[in-house]
Amino acid sequence: RRSHMAVSYTDPQVSMDLLRAVLQPSFNEDIMAVFRKYQKFFEKAAENVKENVGDDVQTDQLMREACRNVLEHAKQLFPEAEVNRGRSEAAIKRSRPAADEDYS
């Protein structure tokens, strides 16, 4: 898609994503610290699920999926369109679901 990325330093999205990539490791550390606060809840829930459903349940995988879902839902903190009027229009213009957006 963005085959011009390597040279297009004036592309606003690319510029911002360069900074994003630089900050990502720090973000990850801080975000991981947040998740550690809640880890025991997810562990307990996954254990309960395993007890109720059966031993074929992969608790680790359940927990990771839950964590990814937390991050996905947290995107609502930064909604795509600011103007209420442009909201539906922006949603239509997107070829991909907004929730999955990733510039790469």
Q: Which residues bind its own copies (CB under 8 A)?
A: 10, 12-13, 15-17, 19-20, 23-24, 26-32, 34-35, 37-38, 41-42, 45-46, 48-49, 52-53, 57-58, 60-82, 94-95, 97, 100-104
- The Cα 47–Cα 41 span in angstroms is 10
Q: In the complex, what is the shortest distance from the CB of residue 94 to its own copies, in angstroms, rounded to a whole number? A: 4
- Cβ–Cβ under 8 Å, residues 70 and 49: no
Q: How many CB atoms lie within 10 A of CB 87?
A: 13
Q: How many CB atoms lie within 10 A of CB 57?
A: 15
Q: In the complex, what is the shortest distance from the CB of residue 85 to its own copies, in angstroms, rounded to a whole number? A: 14
> Scanning the structure block, which residue is given the tokens 């562990």?
43
Q: In the complex, what is the shortest distance from the CB of residue 89 to its own copies, in angstroms, rounded to a whole number? A: 13
